[in-house]
Structure 1
Amino acid sequence: MTDITLHTKSKSTVTCVSNTFIDEYMADANGEFVKIYLYLLRCINAAENFSISKMADKFDHTEKDIKRALKYWEKKHLLQLEYNSGEQLTGICLCEPVSAVTQDSEHAEKPTEASSVDIRPSYTKDQILSFQNDEASSDLLFIIERYIGHPLSIKDYETILYWSDELKFSTDLIEYLVESCVDNGHKSIRYMDKIALSWSASSIRTAEDARRSSSAYKQTHYGVMKAFGISGRKLAEYELELIDKWTSQFGFTLDIISEACKRTLQATNQPSFQYADTILENWHKCNIHHLEDIAILDTAYKKSKASSSRNVTVNKTAANRFNNFSQRTYNFEQLEKQLLNN
């Protein structure tokens, strides 16, 4: 494994952690991923070369674990991975964390991009103030601040007002939304907003609807954790997103997802969500809906593999010119006697 040059766009010469990272990125990330990112911040000042293997030894992880963490932070635009022509990782460039407000303003300038899909009203200061002063809303905002452990920002007020004004969420539903997210270790309003949009798309309008939906959602989470043998930690955001993809986008039930998890462990000896995702994507393309469909697919695959193996054997035999001669067996003891008699 080659050494990797770690460098940064920041001119800072001390180890410091951005408030933006703490406020908007850290809460949603896997704890191990946070450790890796903080270690990169520490190492950047020494300007030393290091390798994935050295970092893996430092944290008693596998190299795949380290790469997974790096790719997660690259996806969040907190770093850039640099490769040479041989696709070897040669550099890691740390980027300045960008706040959600800055990202939203950048996206607003590009109406043709993805942000145009989720067009939200622009609330005035008077509208936000009116929302804050409303008795029911005031109590709700106080409860939310108690849950998340810090005062709400203007951006947070706008988001919560959007839930109430546009999504037509009741105060009970919003309170349950915040409560359930915090119980699952997610205190970010941005994360809660994703859940709110998902609920709205699923026509969830009451807290009772949300409880029923969350109950089924949690059962799937626990089922996946049990199938993978995961305990002692909560699922990371990207893992939750994959489970949501398997259930919502692919429409798979827990028994099929658990089968994919089992096969993943058999193939990799570790709970790889990416590997399971590959299996489930293939099953989705093959229109798998029940466990019986998987058995039929397995049988067809084995037959195809056996047929392919026979064809290879026949071809190898045909290609060998010495097989044109008839095969003979010899009694070597008899031949030896004949030679001695001569």
Structure 2
Amino acid sequence: MAKFRLSTEERKDIFLYSTEIENLFINEFLPDAPGDYVKVYLFGLMCARYDQSIDSERLAKSLGLSEVDVEEAWIYWESKGLVRRKTERNAEGEEVSSLSFVSQIEALYGKSEEAPEETQAAETETEDEEVPFYISIDSMDFDEIMNDRLTDKKLRELY
């Protein structure tokens, strides 16, 4: 049987490609976030996905914002748990921040690092509980549900 070595062409211009956005971001964070902060987040995410470095001045200039606006946006997204910032000093003594984008899917439903014993203990505890297999929507206003944003709080109320 023939073996293949697969590769793709080197990306020459990141603006010719696409950047994936989690639906949780669109549903949970986009509606309440200031528009300029969304611009900073999306542009930064694009740069991060393609391993591009950018400084605050260039980012601000690209988006038509001030450097203060860019800094406030990163503080906002850090407070929401969507980015993590690590600040260090380089060899010249300049402050350099590294930003990591946090997957909300993994943060909320992510990989379990539990030991097998812990998982087994959790399964044993839930065996005694009655867990419904479905949720009845008879008593709910279906139109209200379909036309309303589904937030974490509302999901908890439904379940």
- AA matched with 1:53: E
Structure 1 residue 144: Cα displacement: 3.2
In structure 1, runs of 5+ residues without a counterpart are: 1-12, 106-121, 162-342
Structure 1 residue 24: Cα displacement: 2.1
Structure 1 segments of 4+ aligned residues over 4 angstroms from their partners:
152-155
**Equivalent residue, structure 2, for 1:90:** 97
Structure 1 residue 48: Cα displacement: 2.8
Contact 1:36-1:66 within 8 A present in 2 as well:
yes
Percent same amino acid among aligned pairs?
Answer: 26
Instruction: From the superposition, tell whether residues 153 and 71 of structure 1 become closer, same or farther in structure 2 (CA, over 3 Å).
Output: closer
Instruction: From the superposition, tell whether residues 102 and 49 of structure 1 become closer, same or farther in structure 2 (CA, over 3 Å).
Output: closer
1:68 and 1:37 map into 2 onto residues whose CA distance is: 11
Q: Residues 119-143 of structure 1, C-alpha deviation per residue, up to 9 Å, x if partnerless?
A: xxx99537842xx22xxx33x2422
**Equivalent residue, structure 2, for 1:73:** 77
Instruction: From the superposition, tell whether residues 18 and 127 of structure 1 become closer, same or farther in structure 2 (CA, over 3 Å).
Output: closer
1:75 and 1:36 map into 2 onto residues whose CA distance is: 15
The reply to whether residue 32 of structure 1 matches residue 36 of structure 2 is yes
* 1:116-155 matches, cutoff 5 A: 124-125=131-132, 128-129=135-136, 132-133=137-138, 137-138=139-140, 140-148=141-149
CA RMSD of aligned residues (A): 3.6
Contact 2:47-2:54 within 8 A present in 1 as well:
no
Instruction: From the superposition, tell whether residues 157 and 44 of structure 1 become closer, same or farther in structure 2 (CA, over 3 Å).
Output: closer
Whichever of the two has the greater Rg, that structure is 1
SS at match of 1:70: helix
2:46 and 2:130 map into 1 onto residues whose CA distance is: 41
Instruction: From the superposition, tell whether residues 63 and 20 of structure 1 become closer, same or farther in structure 2 (CA, over 3 Å).
Output: same
**Equivalent residue, structure 2, for 1:60:** 64
**Equivalent residue, structure 2, for 1:6:** none
The higher-RCO structure (CA 8 Å, 6+ apart) is 2
**Equivalent residue, structure 1, for 2:109:** 102
**Equivalent residue, structure 2, for 1:172:** none
Contact 1:24-1:99 within 8 A present in 2 as well:
no
- The number of residue pairs the alignment matches comes to 124
2:49 and 2:134 map into 1 onto residues whose CA distance is: 46
Q: TM-score, normalised by structure 2?
A: 0.60
